[in-house]
Structure 1
Amino acid sequence: MIREFDRWAYDNRLRAWRAEWKLIVAFVMLAVVMMGGWREQWLVLIGMAYWIVARARVPFSVYGKAMLAASVFLGLSLLTLVVSVSVPFQITFIDSQLQPAAKLAVRSLAAWSCLFFLLITTPAPDLIAVLRRMRLPAALVELCFLMYRFIFLLEQAAAELMLALRARSGGTHWRHGGMLMYQLWMKTWQSYEAFSRSLAARGGVASAGHTHQREKAHVPLVDVAAGIIMALLLGWAWRKG
């Protein structure tokens, strides 16, 4: 899934937008979600879906996977609000917490849609270049780049270990999950030590080498009109709230 998201970050229709503009849009919408009511949150959720699926031309299946994954983690977290477990093992539902849990779910999904818009439409090297232009500390920028690189190494190592486990014993027992986590930790630590030794052997590097595609400043008129309409709808919802 991670590689699929990264591929669409390069192939989407909003690739021509400058990374700064998409960063501003994402964080402005995120601020609206955090400070606004349920009307604004639903408008942002629908608006982000429009920008991702209709304008960026990201397949709905990809958008659905991202929202489903967020919904699963969110649902597990919200169980602590609506379910109570007493000392003599007894499970009860708290009706009074259903409405706050529903509001929290909408707010969380709307916030995730803003961040996913930035993730699925902007390649990581472009975001790192924006951080550099913002004059952030070099150590922080390099840490972000190394984390981005480490995610793919971790995914590849996990896929290889799972394939090896299934080839040897089927990988269906719960103990195989523990074996996978332990071996993944060991392999990751070995990769980290090898990377550290390679840097030390070269005398270290001042910064990690990464390039980003030259950005274009052209924005279609349709996108400008859609942005204005969304801003007007948010202003109307804000007044109604």
Structure 2
Amino acid sequence: MTIQIDSLAYTNRLRSLPPGHKLSFAGLLLIISAVSHPLVQILIAAWMSIWTVGYAGIPAKTYFKLVYAAIFFWLTSLPALVINGTDLAHLSLIENDLIGGLNIGSYYLYISHHGVIQAGAIFTRAIASLSCLYFIMLTVPFSELLQTLRNIGCPVLITEILLLMYRFIFVLLNTANEIWIAQKVRGGYRNFSTSMKSLALLIGQLLKRTLENYRQVLLSLKSRGFTGELQVWNSYRYRQSSRYSIEAITGIIFLIALEWVENGRIFTRV
């Protein structure tokens, strides 16, 4: 999946757009999604999905796999947000917040109305924010992202650390996949006991090989005359698109106006 994501960033249909424009567009929507209401957040998620799948040509299967992964993490946190508990003696205090529940001894577990609202708000904000991040990840190559960060004044040390971390993500995943396949072929995961032993061996070998790869990277940098700064060269020529620019500006203005209307409705109710 990660390798496919990296290749899509170089081959998508929005590749010719300047990376600074794409980063500014997604960054503004990310800020709006962090402070807006659920309706606006849902529209941002849908709109960014259209940009990513429709305009950039990213396969829907790949994109929605990433969305499903985010939904899975949200589901794991759902019980902690929705389920609450109290002593039976204090049951009258939660009548307005109670949706349903059951007794466990002298304790009462219940589904919280406030918790459901909070879970929904977290879901819409997370999906909207992730759709903006996925747009950047799937349409802007990492080297161009780092170059853009340098152009706007980001410290070189930070961009170099990001570059090395990004490179070692691939090394880590490829090494883990190779070890896992070798263990599975030898029956290393046929039951729970052997699975735990194989997992421990995998983690140990993964750490060992990662350190060895890190040492090889240092040696290769020194042999190539590394002077303390990693230079990223890019010869790709970008073309601005009036159509995409107009659509992006119009959409952002519409979302800001809609958020303004939503705020007005809330203040009117209060």
- Select which of 88, 98, 117 maps to 2:116: 98
The answer for unaligned runs of 5 or more in structure 2 is 87-103, 263-270
1:111 alignment partner in structure 2: 129
Q: Percent identity?
A: 28
Q: Which moved more, 1:167-176 or 1:90-99?
A: 90-99
In 1, Cα distance between equivalents of 2:255 and 2:51: 15
2:178 alignment partner in structure 1: 160
1:18 alignment partner in structure 2: 18
Equivalent AA in structure 2 for residue 224 of structure 1: S
Contact 1:9-1:120 at 8 Å conserved across structures: yes
In 2, Cα distance between equivalents of 1:21 and 1:63: 21
Query: Normalising to structure 1: TM-score of the pair?
Result: 0.89
In 2, Cα distance between equivalents of 1:6 and 1:220: 27
1:235 alignment partner in structure 2: 256
1:55 alignment partner in structure 2: 55
Query: Are 2:31 and 1:31 aligned?
Result: yes
2:266 alignment partner in structure 1: none
Summarize the Cα distance change of 1:91–1:5 in structure 2 as closer, same or farther, 3 Å threshold: farther
Give the CA RMSD over aligned residues. Answer: 2.4
Query: Normalising to structure 2: TM-score of the pair?
Result: 0.80
Map Cα deviations across residues 96-115 of structure 1 (whole Å, 9 max, x no partner).
21111011111011101111
Contact 1:126-1:213 at 8 Å conserved across structures: no
Contact 2:9-2:140 at 8 Å conserved across structures: yes
SS, match of residue 169 in structure 1 = coil
Contact 1:154-1:188 at 8 Å conserved across structures: yes
- Select which of 109, 114, 128 maps to 2:146: 128
Contact 2:26-2:132 at 8 Å conserved across structures: yes
SS, match of residue 248 in structure 2 = helix
- Post-superposition offset of 1:204: 4.7
In 2, Cα distance between equivalents of 1:150 and 1:92: 45
Residue-pair matches, total: 239
In 1, Cα distance between equivalents of 2:30 and 2:242: 23
Summarize the Cα distance change of 1:81–1:135 in structure 2 as closer, same or farther, 3 Å threshold: same
Equivalent AA in structure 2 for residue 195 of structure 1: V
Instruction: Tell me which structure has the larger Cα radius of gyration.
Output: 2
Q: Which moved more, 1:101-110 or 1:225-234?
A: 225-234
Summarize the Cα distance change of 1:36–1:169 in structure 2 as closer, same or farther, 3 Å threshold: same
- Post-superposition offset of 1:200: 5.6
SS, match of residue 111 in structure 1 = helix
- Select which of 175, 186, 197 maps to 2:208: 186
Summarize the Cα distance change of 1:228–1:137 in structure 2 as closer, same or farther, 3 Å threshold: closer
In 2, Cα distance between equivalents of 1:77 and 1:157: 30
Contact 2:29-2:252 at 8 Å conserved across structures: no
- Post-superposition offset of 1:229: 4.1
In 2, Cα distance between equivalents of 1:19 and 1:150: 23
In 2, Cα distance between equivalents of 1:20 and 1:134: 9
Q: Which has the higher contact order (CA 8 A, sep 6+)?
A: 1
Equivalent AA in structure 2 for residue 171 of structure 1: Y
1:205 alignment partner in structure 2: 227
Deviating above 4 A after TM superposition, structure 1's stretches of 4 or more consecutive aligned residues are 88-91, 197-204
